[in-house]
Amino acid sequence: MSGSPGGGGSERLVVAAFAGNALFAGANAVGVRLSNRELDPLWGASVRFGLAAILMLLLMAGLRLRVPRGRALTGALLYGALNFGAAYALFYYALVELQAGFGQILLALMPLATLLLAVAQRQERLHASAFAGIVLAVVGVAVMSRAPLRE
């Protein structure tokens, strides 16, 4: 890593950003699970994403970014409605019953789902190593999920 342009400062920034992302992503399901104890799931999600939207709009205003138009706006709205609206609404409701750790295990399958969707849409080829990864992931999730389902 020492031979990269820009020196070690940028590498430390990347490592810090990765660590921060891992921390917040790992604590996400725990935070949702705890907020579900006090708030209706959709109310908690609405507050969280409403505040995030306000912060994003303020950031856009501060950076003088324009709101997308035309097809870009349609794509952004569709992505937001499905990825944040539908997916997180279902995730919040799932965490009413599921343990946070099991919810994180299921979220860890998203790269697998992405690969399978890309193969189904002929964007990727399914190589032997990818297939081995799929088998390993499914077996791992099956082993990890046995204990919570027996209780």
Q: Give per-residue pLDDT as tens, 22-47.
A: 888 778 788 888 888 888 888 888 88
Q: Return d(Cα 13, Cα 138) in angstroms, integer.
A: 34
Average pLDDT over residues 64-88: 90
Distance, CA of 151 to CA of 145 (rounded, Å): 11
pLDDT number for residue 150: 55
Percent of the chain surpassing pLDDT 70? 91
Structure tokens at 62: 């501060």
Q: Residue 69 above 90 pLDDT? A: yes
27 CB-near residues (< 8 Å, 6+ apart) = none
Residue 81 to residues 49, 87, 113, 122, Cα–Cα distance (Å): 12, 9, 19, 25
Q: Evaluate if residue 55 carries a pLDDT over 60.
A: yes
Give the Cα-Cα-Cα angle 13, 19, 20 (nearest 5 degrees): 90
Is pLDDT above 60 for 115? Answer: yes
3-state helix, strand, coil in the chain (%, to 5): 80, 0, 20
